[in-house]
Chain A
């Protein structure tokens, strides 16, 4: 009889201490999960607060003004925004086809024993810190571009009426094109590893059926793999774009940091992140500092939107693959 009573009591006390432990642990982990949201919220609040003086002074025209004069304290974001978008566009133009080629090679052609090492090596491109790309770009790549690539471009594309203006000017080595190209190398591993992942989700039976009716590898990729993974591929591209837009150090080294918009992509320019890296610690005057923070806020909004779209597209593919 005593044992009968003691047993439930022991179980009950143990249950209670377990319940307290559970309560504590659950809420502890919850708090830290909440912290992730708070960080994002904090970033938004801090940037808006810092940008407020500039936004109040210049208003919406801040976005469209092509002026950056610390002496007269007139600031506009157009040149950095333009530079950010153009370098990222160049990066995408070069990076997407190469990333696609790499992903196709690794998933469709490459012998099995080579897959892992090859994929790892491509991903190591993403592990190299961006400052390394910067120093390499400044001392090795930019002089190479100046000596060989830009003269060739100026002599060929530069002579074509119309688009020639895009490739005009002296070969400086440093400029928008060089920055865009280095960005392409940097985002290549991000895009190709996502493409590779989504290509692997294509059911083997679909591909085998296509091969069985005589399709070539190209046709399998074109008509089976790509349609099946379209949202994932676009998601991967958007993720790469998000990286390219916010990349700082590599661009800062090679873009030339000129607050102006040139028609020619061979000329120096600047991006939002490069302006911040170069000028922030040297900015004197509250309005100057605030304008730089406003630039940062614009960059944050742009990358947030791009990354959110990327994430949503990848989620959609995940759901499709899951059910």
Chain B
């Protein structure tokens, strides 16, 4: 009886701790989101979307930074998505069991978690130093390198879920393998692949470290991809670290904007993915 009571108490303690841990984890999500809304909502005004980043002490908005972020994210996605999809296709459709495939898969998983600031250093060495100046192109390429492993991974996973019977049926009709992949495998896996791209976009939308020494920042409106370009994360970094109250308010506004975008993309991607599995 004594032993039984002790085991029950031990179980009660461990299980309560586990409940507490979950509550502790959720607490931070709530706290971070709540402070963001509390501090950021005041900055969400029409001026935020229509005016440029101001010098200290005057009012302004984040239009040039928002434009820069959208632009670089777009280019990075346009470069990274096809690259990732083709590489993922090779891994899923051609390389089953091959040594080369194993190696690529392994390296890709490491790139997936590699520190993003290292990617920034790499692009700095390869593009910024060669070109002689910071540029939006360099920033977009740094982001593209972060997109690639995410898309490779989800494409491969999703293609692996496509039942082989579908491929065999298409092959039995006499279609060559590339047609089987493009017309059958891709169509069956498209939902998951789109999910992967959305997650990749969510990931780069808030990335700061790789942009610090590639795209740098720009106080003014610029559409020149060959010059430094303002972008939300770096502006937030600069403004939040500054002693000026106006800048700090704008930083909170930008932070709220990025977080809402990223969370919406994430939740949207998850909804899309679960809708797919539900259908199956």
Whether chains A and B associate is yes
A contact set with B: CB distance below 8 Å? 14, 17-19, 21-22, 24-26, 28-37, 39-40, 42-43, 46-47, 49-50, 97-102, 104-106, 108-109, 116, 118, 120-122, 124-125, 127-136, 138-140, 185, 188-189, 192, 216-219, 221, 239, 242-243, 245-249, 252-253, 273, 276-277, 280-281, 293, 296, 299-300, 303-304, 307-308, 310-311
A37 contacts B104, C-beta separation under 8 Å: yes
A35 proximity list for chain B (CB < 8 A): 83, 87, 148
B209 contacts A40, C-beta separation under 8 Å: no
B114 contacts A300, C-beta separation under 8 Å: yes
Q: A32-B90, A218-B10 are in contact. Are A109 and B19 (CB under 8 A)?
A: yes
A24 proximity list for chain B (CB < 8 A): 178
B267 proximity list for chain A (CB < 8 A): 120, 124
Interface string of B83-99 (1 = CB under 8 A from A): 10011011101110000
A29 contacts B115, C-beta separation under 8 Å: no
Chain B nearest CB, measured from A29 CB (Å): 4
A21 contacts B125, C-beta separation under 8 Å: no
B39 proximity list for chain A (CB < 8 A): 139
B73 at the binding interface (Cβ < 8 Å):
no
B205 proximity list for chain A (CB < 8 A): 129
Q: A14-B174, A140-B35 are in contact. Are A39 and B111 (CB under 8 A)?
A: yes
Q: What residue in chain A is nearest B39 (Cβ atoms)?
A: A139
Q: What residue in chain A is nearest B114 (Cβ atoms)?
A: A303
B216 at the binding interface (Cβ < 8 Å):
yes
Partner of A40, one of B29, B110, B117, B263: B110
B83 contacts A32, C-beta separation under 8 Å: yes
Chain A nearest CB, measured from B29 CB (Å): 5
Q: What residue in chain B is nearest A302 (Cβ atoms)?
A: B115
B157 proximity list for chain A (CB < 8 A): none
B263 contacts A36, C-beta separation under 8 Å: no
Cα distance A109–B11 in the bound complex, in angstroms: 12
B240 at the binding interface (Cβ < 8 Å):
yes
Cα distance A106–B148 in the bound complex, in angstroms: 31
Chain B nearest CB, measured from A55 CB (Å): 15
A97 contacts B236, C-beta separation under 8 Å: no
Q: What residue in chain B is nearest A281 (Cβ atoms)?
A: B213
Partner of A36, one of B104, B118, B120, B237: B104
B115 contacts A300, C-beta separation under 8 Å: yes
Q: What residue in chain B is nearest A20 (Cβ atoms)?
A: B176
Number of interface residues of B (CB under 8 A): 92
Chain A nearest CB, measured from B240 CB (Å): 5
Cα distance A101–B32 in the bound complex, in angstroms: 21
B270 at the binding interface (Cβ < 8 Å):
yes
Q: A29-B93, A32-B86, A125-B29 are in contact. Are A130 and B111 (CB under 8 A)?
A: no
Q: What residue in chain A is nearest B84 (Cβ atoms)?
A: A32
A218 contacts B11, C-beta separation under 8 Å: yes
A249 contacts B125, C-beta separation under 8 Å: no
Chain A nearest CB, measured from B69 CB (Å): 11
B208 at the binding interface (Cβ < 8 Å):
yes
Cα distance A106–B176 in the bound complex, in angstroms: 46
Partner of A102, one of B25, B103, B236: B25
B11 contacts A217, C-beta separation under 8 Å: yes
Q: A21-B176, A131-B236, A277-B117 are in contact. Are A36 and B262 (CB under 8 A)?
A: no
Q: A127-B202, A130-B208, A253-B241 are in contact. Are A101 and B22 (CB under 8 A)?
A: yes
B121 contacts A276, C-beta separation under 8 Å: yes
- Interface hit among B59-67, B219-227, B251-259: B251-259
B179 proximity list for chain A (CB < 8 A): 18, 21
Cα distance A121–B36 in the bound complex, in angstroms: 17
B90 proximity list for chain A (CB < 8 A): 26, 29-30, 32-33
Partner of A129, one of B181, B206, B248: B206
Cα distance A120–B122 in the bound complex, in angstroms: 33
B125 contacts A136, C-beta separation under 8 Å: no
Cα distance A248–B237 in the bound complex, in angstroms: 12
Q: A29-B87, A218-B10, A300-B115 are in contact. Are A185 and B28 (CB under 8 A)?
A: yes
Cα distance A323–B137 in the bound complex, in angstroms: 47
B104 contacts A33, C-beta separation under 8 Å: yes
B48 at the binding interface (Cβ < 8 Å):
no
Partner of A100, one of B21, B26, B121, B216: B21
A307 contacts B114, C-beta separation under 8 Å: yes
A129 contacts B208, C-beta separation under 8 Å: yes
Chain B nearest CB, measured from A149 CB (Å): 14
Cα distance A277–B212 in the bound complex, in angstroms: 7
- 13 A–B pairs (Cβ distance < 8 Å), ordered by A: A14-B174, A19-B176, A21-B178, A29-B94, A46-B122, A98-B25, A127-B266, A136-B36, A247-B115, A249-B233, A281-B213, A299-B115, A304-B110
Of the candidates B115, B208, B259, the one having the most CB atoms from chain A within 10 angstroms of its own CB is B115
Cα distance A30–B178 in the bound complex, in angstroms: 13
Q: What residue in chain A is nearest B7 (Cβ atoms)?
A: A216
Q: A39-B145, A109-B18 are in contact. Are A132 and B94 (CB under 8 A)?
A: no
B109 at the binding interface (Cβ < 8 Å):
yes
Interface string of B14-36 (1 = CB under 8 A from A): 11011111101110110110011
